[in-house]
Amino acid sequence: MDERERMAIVESILFVSGDPVNIRDIAQILDMDLRLVRKLMEKMTDCHSFERRGLQVIRVNDTYQLATRPEFSTYIEKYIGQQSMQVLSQACLETLAVIAYRQPVTKSDMEAIRGVKCDHTVTILQNRGYIQEVDRLDTPGRPYLYGTTDLFLRSFGLSSIENLPPLDPGQDPGQSGADNS
Amino acid sequence: MSYLVKLDQFEGPLDLLLHLISKSKVQIEDVSITEITEQYLETLHTMKQFDIEIASEFLIMASTLLYIKSCLLIPKSKPDPEEEEETDPKQELIDRLQEYRKYKEAGNWFRKREVYYSRVFYKLPEETSVEERKEFLSPDVSPALLCRTFMELLDHVKNREKRKEKPVPVVHEIKRDPVLLKERVTQLRDYIGQCARTTFFKMLQSGDRDHTKDEIIVTFLALLVLLKENDIVLQQEYPFEDIQIIRKGVVYG
């Protein structure tokens, strides 16, 4: 079996799955070494980008998924109709930023930074599936520690949390954003 | 004539302070506490005039500002070498503002990213059932069974005709709804959360008493709710067979 064929197999598996597929599952199906599968997936991702296919392979942590390209969304929306999107409020975005950069973090840490209560915004972010309770702090009251989820990474076009741009004051972090396409 | 004035929305006292500082076009480090305190209190007054409820956080910040201002007015006592170095409340506030600004700006970056990447579309998983299709008729159907079933059917029809002859006044009793659909949905969601797959019949076996018709109906309705909310997958081999309930996201087959 050559590389091309293996990539084709993975592509069909990603298609059937729809959901993100773990690299370990791919390695098991192909009966291949994990390290080689990583290389194969990198190549596959590059191929899809290079050939400017309609679908891209996105990586979030150790999972891979097929997705459309954002630059074709105008045409997709011509077909399915305009998609309405509920954008997060400024308060939610601030809270999310604190959690993303400071995780794992408690509610009182967030409140100390933002200077306002964060219960409501945390609930909204949890319902969106962007954050989750990852642990509890071993202090009185055992407060929950919050962290971001894979869905958060996917929704913000990040392959892993290390891809977040550095938190520099005065600098527009939009300039140094990581791209996973 | 009454009219409404739209004020800028502030996410909190720190946000308001940042706004005031940027309005007076100074760097955070160079802020004048006297000026900023005045502007801050003025804003709170305006908010009061427009009947805007002022959150307690804004009042705490007001007192912090006044405290810093008073510290600046009182001449500093000679530093006591025994005592730990006291933190400068003004510097503390400046640090907080700078820290907060970082996350506020990061929030703007997140907004752009979310809007851009919301234009990426994904596909739902295939609903494939790997189990083999069973024959509609199980192999133990015998002519005798068919005969018996037919006799039962005839009886049934006969009974119905009998009932028709003697019409009994129908009394409908409307009972209070003992099982709430909402409660049942929550119960089921917890239950499915614990065991990834179960069946409809199994769910009705829980508990030591028989389930009433109402309960069975509500349970079925709850299943439909979960199905609609995309929490579960339902499978049924053939009509009137037990319904397989599988949590979404679990590999089945």
pLDDT in tens, B83-130: 556 678 888 899 999 999 999 999 999 999 999 999 899 988 887 766
Three-class SS string for A87-116? Answer: CCCHHHHHHHHHHHHHCCECHHHHHHHHCC
Residue B5 has pLDDT above 90, yes or no: no
Residue A63 or B198, more confident: A63
Q: What percentage of chain B carries pLDDT values higher than 90? A: 12
**pTM value?**
0.67
Query: Could you read off the pLDDT of B149-173 as tens digits, one per residue?
Result: 888 888 888 887 776 666 667 788 7
Reported ipTM: the value is 0.85
**Domain boundaries A90-163, corresponding CATH code:** 1.10.10.10
Same fold, A3-72 and A90-163: yes
Q: Say which range, B37-46, B186-195, B243-252, has the weakest mean pLDDT.
A: B243-252
A25-78 pLDDT, tens digit each: 999 999 999 999 999 999 999 999 999 899 999 999 999 999 999 999 999 999
pLDDT in tens, A125-134: 999 999 999 9
Ordered alpha helix ranges (H), A66-180: 73-80, 90-102, 107-114, 119-128, 150-155
Chain B residues within 8 A of A18 when measuring between CB atoms: 122-126
By C-alpha distance, the chain B residue nearest A56 is: B120
Distance CA B118, CA B249 (A): 22
Across chain A, what does the average pLDDT equal? 89
Phi-psi label, residue B68: left if phi above 0, alpha if psi -120 to 50, beta otherwise? alpha
User: What are φ and ψ of residue B189, in 5° steps?
Assistant: -65, -40
Topology of the domain covering A3-72: Arc Repressor Mutant, subunit A (1.10.10)
Residue B72 CA to residue B90 CA, distance in Å, equals 9
Q: Which of B112, B102, B158, B184 is nearest to A169 (CA)?
A: B102
Q: Do A113 and B114 touch (CB under 8 A)?
A: no
Domain boundaries, chain A: 3-72, 90-163
Strand partners, B8: none
Residue B181 has pLDDT above 90, yes or no: no
Higher pLDDT, B164 or A114: A114
Nearest CA in chain B to A98: B103
Q: What is the DSSP letter of B229?
A: T
Per the structure block, which two tokens stand in for B74?
Answer: 């009182």
User: Which residues on chain B are in Cβ contact (under 8 Å) with A157?
Assistant: 113, 116-117, 120
pLDDT for the residue A161:
94
Question: Is B106's CB within 8 Å of A97's CB?
Answer: yes
Indicate the pLDDT class of residue A174, thresholds 50, 70 and 90.
Answer: very low
- Asked if A173 lies within 8 A of B12 by C-beta distance, the reply is no
